[in-house]
């Protein structure tokens, strides 16, 4: 199958400026329209390995990113995001167009895809088993995710959204670039020198942000599900010894429910899906300071008996 990299930069720009580029991420397809050159550059850089879909392919979501039709086109330029033709967020500075696009893709799935239980968590797979990592900002989740899929032998399913099937309990991929913030950007540059990162953008609501291109193999296997096996609550702590402590099923349930975007929306189906997930996984609290030690420990996680 052809990939987005088969388009020249001019051809990609023409598609984005015209009827839109159909971008397939996991089970979802988004029609993306924009005339913003820096966003087109970001898509060319980060989504080169994604399949090139026909212009008439069905799209679940329709996003357009454009400059406001006002004086803001020239004075402190901004970018607006429209979902199905309606403005979805307040405008952001134009240099944050790529970050706004990434956040918009997350928003589409987290607020619309109620065929799945959606947890705000990174998720990776190894030997058919999924490792789910919910964590607040500053915990080192995305840094650890980048290291695991970049050097640790894990397949990236998502850096942000864990999608659990309501009927079968399987974890579905939603493979997208890994979002890195502040100090994590240089940490991953040093740890994964061959990784492809977008140019950092400063002064966003999350600080300085850059995105790491997802591994090509993870993108190619973007339809392969996994069985949930572990829920890890990671926490980076400078110079701290590495620790791994079991968490009770009840605590794991409550923390996952609290990190879910649609647990309450789904009602009984959400409760059943989360209960089934808890029956399959072992929960841990994990503290680390060195990525090499973290990857070694993650490679030895035992399956729940």
Q: Does 11 map to a domain?
A: yes
Is residue 209 one of the residues assigned to a domain?
A: yes
Same structural domain for residues 143 and 290?
yes
HSE of 70, CA atoms in CB hemisphere, 13 A: 8
- Whether residue 100 is found in the same domain as residue 154: no
Shared domain check, 128 and 63: no
Residues 217 and 143 in one domain: yes
CA 250 from chain center: how many Å?
27
User: Are 154 and 208 members of one domain?
Assistant: yes
Total domains in the fold of the chain: 2
Q: Are residues 125 and 261 in the same domain?
A: yes
Retrieve residue 4's tokens: 């987005």
Does residue 303 lie in a domain region?
Answer: no
Looking at the structure, tell me whether residues 241 and 150 fall in a common domain. yes
**pLDDT at residue 88 greater than cutoff 90:** no
Q: Please compute the mean of the pLDDT values over residues 189-194 and round it to a whole number.
A: 97
**Is 245 part of a structural domain of the chain?**
yes
> In DSSP terms, which residues pair with 25 in a beta bridge?
28
Using the 3D structure, point to which of 78, 112, 146 is the last residue of a domain.
112
In a domain, 13, yes or no: yes
Q: Tens of pLDDT along 226-280?
A: 999 999 999 999 999 999 999 999 999 999 999 999 999 999 999 999 999 999 9
Give the integer Cα–Cα distance in Å for 281 and 277. 7
State whether 141 and 191 are in the same domain: yes
Give the per-residue pLDDT at 59: 97
User: Nearest-CA neighbor of 157 among 220, 108, 222, 111?
Assistant: 222
Residues 167 and 288 in one domain: yes
Same-domain status, 192 and 285: yes
pLDDT digits (tens, 9 = 90+) for 125-158: 999 999 999 988 888 999 999 999 999 999 999 9
User: Domain span at residue 257?
Assistant: 116-298
Q: Specify the pLDDT at position 71.
A: 65
Is there a domain that residue 100 lies in?
Answer: yes
In-domain check, residue 252? yes
- Answer yes or no: are the C-beta atoms of 218 and 156 closer than 8 Å: yes
**Segment 58-68 mean pLDDT:** 96
User: Distance (Å, rounded) from C-alpha 304 to C-alpha 298?
Assistant: 14
What is the average per-residue pLDDT within 212-239? 96
Rounded to an integer, what distance in angstroms lies between the CA atom of residue 202 and that of residue 194? Answer: 23
The full 3-state SS of the chain, as one line of letters, equals CCEHHHCCHHHHHHHHHCCCEEEEECCEEEEEEECCHHHHHHHHHHCCCCECCCCCCCCCEEEEEECCCCHHHCCCCEEEEEECCEECCCCEEHHHHHHHHHHHHHHHHHHHCCCEEEEECEEEEECCEEEEECCCCCCCHHHHHHHHHHCCCCEEEECCEEEEECCCCCEECCCCCEEEECHHHHHHHHHCCCCCECCCEEEECCEEEEEECCCHHHHHCCCCCEEEEEEEEEEECCCCCCEEEEECHHHHHHHHHHCECCHHHHCHHHHHHHHHHHHHCEEEEEEECCHHHHHHHHCCCCCCC
Q: Does 60 lie in the same domain as 27?
A: yes
Say how many residues make up the chain.
305
Alpha-carbon torsion, ordered 170, 171, 174, 179, to 10 deg: 180
281 and 144 assigned to the same domain: yes
Domain assignment present for residue 304? The answer is: no
Which of 112, 135, 154 terminates a domain? The answer is: 112
Final residue of a structural domain among 58, 84, 112: 112
């Amino acid at each position: 199958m052809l990939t987005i990299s088969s388009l020249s930069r001019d051809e990609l720009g023409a598609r984005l400026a015209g009827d839109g580029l159909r971008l397939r991420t996991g089970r979802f397809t988004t029609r993306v329209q924009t005339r913003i050159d820096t966003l087109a550059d970001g898509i060319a850089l980060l989504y080169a390995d994604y399949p090139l879909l026909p212009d008439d392919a069905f799209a679940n979501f329709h996003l357009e990113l454009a400059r406001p039709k006002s004086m803001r086109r020239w004075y402190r330029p901004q970018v607006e995001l429209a979902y199905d033709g309606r403005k979805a967020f307040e405008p952001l500075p134009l240099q944050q167009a790529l970050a706004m696009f990434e956040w918009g893709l997350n928003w589409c799935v987290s607020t619309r895809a109620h065929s799945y239980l959606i947890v705000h968590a990174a998720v990776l797979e190894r030997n058919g088993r999924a490792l789910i990592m919910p964590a607040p900002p500053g915990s080192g989740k995305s840094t650890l995710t980048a290291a695991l899929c970049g050097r640790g032998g894990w397949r990236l399913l998502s850096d942000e959204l864990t999608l659990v099937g309501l009927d079968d309990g399987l974890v579905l991929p939603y493979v997208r670039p890994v979002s890195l913030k502040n100090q994590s950007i240089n940490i991953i540059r040093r740890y994964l020198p061959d990784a492809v990162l977008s140019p950092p953008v400063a002064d966003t609501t999350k600080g300085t942000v850059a995105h790491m291109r997802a591994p090509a193999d993870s993108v190619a296997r973007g339809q392969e599900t996994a069985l949930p096996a572990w829920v890890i609550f990671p926490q980076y702590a400078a110079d701290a010894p590495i620790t791994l402590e079991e968490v009770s099923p009840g605590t794991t349930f409550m923390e996952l429910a609290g990190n879910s975007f649609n647990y309450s929306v789904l009602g009984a189906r959400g409760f059943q899906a989360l209960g089934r997930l808890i029956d399959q996984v072992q929960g841990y609290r994990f503290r680390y300071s060195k990525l090499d030690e973290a990857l070694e420990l993650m490679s030895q996680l035992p399956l729940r008996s």
